[in-house]
Amino acid sequence: MGNRAVSQELIILGNRIREYRKERGFSQEILAEKSGVSTNTISRIEGGQMAMSVGILQKIVKALGVDANTLLGVSTEVNETKIWVSAFSSRVQELKENEQKILKHTMNALIESMEKNRLKISTDKSSQVLHTR
């Protein structure tokens, strides 16, 4: 494999890391702190200017809460739901315990409402009428 191919792979990996970091609302500084890797190293990795060791990859994967295969592009199928759930999970963990309880209650109520509306929509579809509360 030539240097150009390696360089392109580093750029792609760096872009993926940047995307996942931003999805989680992390700055480079926050990712550096969470992973125990310097901000300069995060910047160079994201810029495709630096190859990283397996150890650094493991730290970044853990800090981002993402599967290593997905980050490396090994997965043949990227499940968008897994991506946003993982990002959401990371953000929820940053909340205080009482905020997490409120969020849990709110999400459960929202999901129950959506399920009821889905049932109503599917029942009403047969009569071609859509009713919402």
Domain presence at residue 118 = no
Q: Residues 35, 33, 40, CA angle at the centre, nearest 5°? A: 90
Coil, strand, or helix at residue 132? coil
* In a domain? residue 92: no
**pLDDT tens per residue across span 34-85:** 999 999 999 999 999 999 999 999 999 999 998 888 888 876 555 677 777 7
Token duo for residue 67: 């599967």
Residue 10 belongs to domain spanning: 3-75
Residue 121 placed within a domain: no
- The CATH number of residue 66's host domain is 1.10.260.40
Residue 116 falls inside a structural domain? no
Confidence (pLDDT) at 3: 60
Output the average pLDDT for the chain: 83
Which amino acid belongs to residue 57? L
**Number of domains within the chain:** 1
How is residue 65 annotated by DSSP?
T
Decide if 129 is inside a domain. Answer: no
H helices then E strands: how many in the chain? Answer: 7, 0
Assess if residue 89 is contained within a domain. no
17 is a domain residue: yes
Is there a domain that residue 12 lies in? yes
- 35, 63 Cβ separation under 8 angstroms: yes
Q: What sign does the CA torsion over 68, 70, 74, 77 have?
A: positive
The contacts of residue 44 (CB under 8 Å, 6+ apart) are: 50
Give the pLDDT band (50/70/90) at residue 88: confident
